[in-house]
Structure 1
Amino acid sequence: MAWLPANAPTPHTLVFSAPSPAIEMAMTGLLALLVAAGAAVAADAKPYSPTDSILLNCGSTADGLDADGRKWLADTNNNMWLGDSGKSSLMAAADELDSSLPSTIPYMTARVFTVDTVYNFTVNPKDRHWLRLHFYPSSYNGIAPEDFRFSVSTSTGLTLLRNFSVWVTTKALTQAYIVREFSLPRTPAGFIAVTFTPTPTPMTNVTYAYINGLELISMPDIFEDPATMVGFADQTVDIAASSFQTMYRFNIGGGYIPPSNDSGLARSWFDDTPYVFGVMQGVSYTAGPRFHVKYPTEASEYAAPVEVYLGTRSMGSDPRVNQNYNLTWTMEVDGNFTYVVRLHFCELLLNRPNQRAFDIYINNKTAQSDADVIEMTSERGVPVYKDFAVHMADDPGDEVMWVAMHPSVALRPQFYDAILNGLEVFKLNDSAANLAAPDPVPSKMLAEAELSESEKERSKKSKDQANMATVIGGTAGGAAAVGIVAAICLVVYHNKKNRELTGSDSHNSGWLPMYHSTTSGKSSGHLAANLAGMCRHFSIAEIKTATKNFSESLVIGVGGFGKVYRGVVDGDTKVAIKRSNPSSEQGALEFQTEIEMLSKLRHRHLVSLIGFCEESNEMVLVYDYMEHGTLREHLYNKGSNPPLSWRHRLDICIGAARGLHYLHTGAKYTIIHRDVKTTNILVDENWVAKVSDFGLSKSGSSTVNQAHVSTMVKGSFGYLDPEYFRRQQLTDKSDVYSFGVVLFEVLMARPALSPQLPRDQVSLADYALSCQRKGTLPDVVDPTIKDQIAPECLIKFAETAEKCLADQGLERPSMGDVLWNLEFAMQLQDAFDGASGRRQAQDDGSGSGRPVLEPSNSYGSTASVTTIGTSSTSRAHDACVVIEEEDDDITNRAAFSQLVQPTGR
């Protein structure tokens, strides 16, 4: 077990035998204390008021608020910050909006530099300062993202970035944007200058630099005490005099804490789950709403927000198990730097010394033996943190930092357990006043190198691959230097999953920043054995025959996974074939997720997955062909697709709601779609709506006491639930919010985001709610359907959409309620239209044969018949009768994934 500290107890085979009566009673007491902790959270710590707080929206002409409500100033204000008043720089707007961006501000505008340019700031000389640099790789004024390469330094001679490429770094991490956070020591001169220096690219020799957002914020004295050097108890490292870069900041055992919730310091705290090593990940718990956190000093209030200390991760309740494993976190770092590891503790359950004591190890060395939080603090609910310093060598294999905890055996505590509430890792500047590290190498480059190796002579192959492993080990460490962004947790989570899929025991290979599960960028057949029993396994020959060898003439769309082709299998069965793109942001994890998830779902309103192909370095998914494409196509592309009538739109919304309602209630566990939007609602040849794209779906909690899933935020900007974004806690109400945006999109026939519109109209959700509350919504309804909607139907439909967009998930209706309200809206429309509307084919018993529509709030297995007539304003087609069999066992086929989407996520 190489991952255990050298001087830690060596684990043996785990024996799960029944504990003794004494131990059982002790553990029962601990569980009782856990329950009691909920009855006993503190008022928030006093917010810090920074002396300096400058947030610049670079390249913008107007101030604005980000998604957290923080105000960003245009860097053109009085030209007070740019050394040359902006004369030598360009103001540019990003050419594309990536749906993964958390906010358009500050990422959609940039300041572009062609020569050395300086931002000057007058600051309080008594304060340290946070400096955060925000970058979004995009084309600016026609300049390609790969043409930007630059260095960043400060007036104190500190190098922050050197020969840095945002494009390369984000490609390596498959991320949409990055944030670099630095902490600068006091400057007696009361002046900080940040210089951007363009550096020539190797091929074109052009020189461009840029910045989207820049933050400079005062910070309190939370780094005054020196850190103990691990392995050298008599040596310390002076943090106060150092500059450093934040590498990781975790809310251990808890969810994401946004900058707006960090007591004035504007830090982001992330979920630690993706970084917990091994199968044994312990358990996490949170104190109840009345637990009181008592900060020992005023300065300590700013070490971490209250929320960090109210949650913790422990090893679990079985003392025998706990004595045979380490609770461990692993993190990639850059070699040849010294790091400070800050561990945050707060005892939430126990109140006496030696009830819980543990040893702390960092990189296989003892950082502290017999740590006892109560001994450190004297009482329960008092936060404390410990700083340890460790030097990381520049040797291959030393680019991963290990933090591990193990119960103290020597002290024989009452409970063999260990806890941790928060974890931060900071990289200190070296002796040359440098914090910069090389850019990580994207997996595509690694793949090309690997391919080249495979073509060499067999006798040289082993040696060359060994050299390649050395290169990979060195570059993987550089990936962690991308700073702290919310999405980085997702990258590592994907990499961990890919390790599990490949069955690899190699730690380094699993931490590579990869698009897919192998360094070639493509899956290599390891999934087929696991997935073959779930649905049909096509050969690559069958796929090539169906698509005429992937003919471009058969391409019907491009999504985040890759191109989608129209094809024919088994002689006459039309299918849609989605082929993975090596440079796609989606890969083996989404491939397996979609197959595993959808093979368990059966419903008329989910597009069916027919099968898959995974061979010859290809990953392909095969679905039923949807004749009429996406709902979005019939709302905007009015040149080729005449706009749908109101009745058609409402009927499609009802079908989509039925599909989502089944996901939330019809499966063994709640399935949360997580990417509901009009491009993921498809219509077949009979205009029946079907929900698609399950690559991001999550299984919800199966317990009564946990109504959410803690997860990194994914989805499409404009449809994203703001509560999910703020708290990183996914619930089925997140789908309800997204569906509310869809309802207004159907009604108003405009995109969820329209950056070219006035500011108050950019977000469809905000604009629609504003119109609804002002009573002006009828004025902005799509003109092509405005005269078709019954007034009462419009009122009911708009009220339903409005409730879906409630800021708090608890205030939103369930999808079952949404479905009932939409069916009732259809009944109101029927009453308005008379005998020509959509009706349930059921005689009312009067002998007239008149159909009656009866919305149901429950999801049964009844059958209904829908008559869709020809509309003068929609595409002409024959009237048809669709029998809606609401039975879970209709078919053993499942759903479909974003066949037509202009861009990936």
Structure 2
Amino acid sequence: MKTQKLIKLSILLIFIPFSLSSFIPINNFLLNCGSNTNASIFNRLFIGDSTKQDSIFLSSHKSISLTNQNPSSNLPTLYQTARIFTNNGGTYKFILRKNGTLFARFHFSSFKGHGFDLKDANFSVFVGGKLVLRNFNFHFKISSNNNNDDDDVIIKEFILKVVSNFVEIVFRPVNDSCFGFVNAIEVFSVPEDFVVDYGARFIGPYGVVEYKNLSNQVLETIHRINVGGLKLTPFNDTLWRTWIPDKEFLVFKDSVKTVVSTHTPNYQKGGATREIVPDNVYMTAQEMNRNQSILASKFNITWNFPVENGGVRHLVRLHFCDIVSPSLNLLYFNVYINRYSAYKDVDLSSLTFHTLASPIYVDFVVDSNDSGVIQISVGPSDLSSSMRINAILNGAEIMKFVNVTDLDSHVSSQKTRFLLVLVCSIVGGIVILVLVIAFFLVRLSRGKKKLKQRTVESVGWTPLGVFGGSSLSRMSEGYFGLNKIPFVDIKLATNNFDKSLIIGAGGFGMVYKGVLKDNVKVAVKRGMPGSRQGLPEFQSEITILSKIRHRHLVSLVGFCEENSEMILVYEYVEKGPLRNHLYGSEGFEPLSWKRRLEICIGAARGLHYLHTGFTQGIIHRDIKSTNILLDENYVAKVADFGLSRSGPCIDETHVSTNVKGSFGYLDPEYFRRQQLTDKSDVYSFGVVLFEVLCARHAVDPQLDREQVNLAEWSLKWQKKGMLERIIDPYLVGKINESSLKKFSETAEKCLAEYGVDRPSMGDVLWNLEYSLQLQESDQEVNEIIHENRPRSIRIERDYDNNIYSDISATKVFSQLMHREGR
């Protein structure tokens, strides 16, 4: 069965059209070293390095052109010659047409001739002054992945940025009795966005954080894997790379089922390109094998890739293309690296802007451990429906961060040691002198009365230990109005965390209704015991909520970190999440249009305060209908600040950060650029506005394809001028036409593709107030007509002490009613 599948794959690869001419490197140097003739491999012409070339220079105190006297018929001509470097080594200098990111590949093949056995070579290689291979010899093959089937050939590949208009490659023997060699060299440009500085996720025991300045690293390719597919040679790749199958790395081979697509990927702007990965990699994948009876329950697909151990840093680039789903928004899965959660609830439909079978890649940075492997796993998400449990992977690349040493420091090591001795001598003398002076000062001050000084402890954050004995423990009670509540009091308030008192649940943990000793009702959010995943959220909530007080923001009453617990205690908000009031849940009456407007206005006020009430402002990052709570009077309060971040400084336009948020509400520009601004909250709030109007979920996979995403569906009808066709049936005929028009226009502006085109929360608030005025004035005008009352109207409302206004009916639609405005 497996053989038949491989045969089908082979036939498929033969007939797939390749578009390899789409990328032409600006710099493209291919050298056949140690030869005065050219050699061809994979339709690429390598020029003999003994021939004169205007843009390539070879300088060496002594180098030898070596030819294999007993050439192997199994090896291409390229590997039958070599350039030998003795004594002080030699240098190739390449004049670049344009600087930037380069691939540097070195081909090494061992043979004997003229007293040299290339297997005995021992040397280092520098590229652009950076040490990329230290004390290299042919025995490196034992401990390195070669991506090459031939035991007599080693290919080492590096990716690095060059800022000058030339690049030098230096081969330096380890000592005078050693020599170095190379059979072929490739130096060529790659696309500018091949390695970008933003968006990479650093994975470790303390969660996921953003890794910056990735393009400045020197990377060595260790593994390049075509998951679910066959080996791909450089002939099938626009950057002439080799991709090997994943089978030998699978931990449990029966856990996977190979998937093959006959359609070329749907490349989208902002996603992957053919230069990132060739078509064939995205046209095959491994998915969960649900047919095996032994795999009836949820499980992960796992690969183990051998790497250098001992904390060496690696870039792990994973490639995804949904070729397994019949339609959008059906596939949700999790990614784990070295057993850490690397990416939770991956939704390829959202990441690829709702285009099926569209390629995308995600970069992760991870340190190897003592096991000597990097373990990659994909498994089902809790968001998956019971009928659609699955996870996929199309490709994987692992690149080692090269611990760069500068060429000059390598050459002048003896001089450095001399300087080090000299500096140590001078510093030692100074230290002795300082000790002598300190001794006499202490003697002089002895006997003097010591003044007692009060120590002021920093309130800055330090990592919690085991959720006890941290900087939180040193906060005094009542700090910014917060109390450190004893664990015993919280157990009493929640009846020892009685399950019948659970009022909510989330990624952080369960939320319980409770009553403190002073009869104050509270909501108790308890982090999952023993887990460190909620630590950043725990710290963020206390940091944010300890600084703010506002009528439309949920207040934090106190916290507890005893007994390895992470517990947050909030004011109890009687009527719960807005979401429960929108979908006809049992026990909830439908909300009137006026009340919905008042709720939206309250939430907008809370967000406006977050964005503008501080020097940098605060960005919520998780605005959705479940995080807007309603008190007994239906006053809206924004809640859950676990993902919140401080906004950009005055001289900055954004905050570069790892993407966080909820599917359906997440700002697509924030996801694309990894750049957070307050306009990301505005986008999410726009989704909430349509949710309030239409009374349906932000994402509903059970609906038809065009209706799955509320934001897209609503905008479609809004642009047609027919939004009234999809609003909540309960509201039909109850909304003033002008009020609906102003509200929908506001929501549409919030969902603009680019943040600069979206209004501020102040503008959103102002427009929602105006929409409410239009609704109220319509009602009062109707009352006037019905009751034959005078045409003077007094509109009275009280939102945080706003001015009351008397206006005539002819001025009802003026947008200048309040001092707040623009």
Relative to the length of structure 2, the TM-score reads: 0.48
Q: Give the number of the structure with larger relative contact order, counting CA–CA contacts within 8 Å between residues 6 or more apart.
A: 1
Structure 1 length as normaliser, TM-score?
0.44
